[in-house]
């Protein structure tokens, strides 16, 4: 098996934005989270 990676795309990955986009709905709708937890990604511009 051979896996090819687009190195430019991998190096341009913004992990923090990606992570915040991934948990956005969880932070918004999980009733058991504190208000400070809900604001974990405030100020991070999420790209879809």
Q: What is the DSSP letter of 33?
A: S
Q: What is the pLDDT of residues 20-40, one digit of tens each?
A: 999 999 999 999 999 999 999
The Cα–Cα gap between 37 and 4 comes to: 37
pLDDT confidence bin for 3, thresholds 50/70/90: confident
- 6-14 contact pairs (CB < 8 A, 24+): 14/47
Q: Do the Cβ atoms of 42 and 16 come closer than 8 Å?
A: no
Greater pLDDT, 11 or 27:
27
């Amino acid at each position: 098996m051979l896996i090819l990676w687009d190195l430019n795309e991998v190096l341009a990955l913004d992990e923090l934005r990606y992570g915040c986009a991934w948990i956005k709905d969880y932070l918004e709708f999980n009733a058991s989270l504190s208000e400070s937890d809900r604001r974990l990604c405030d100020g991070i511009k999420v790209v879809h």
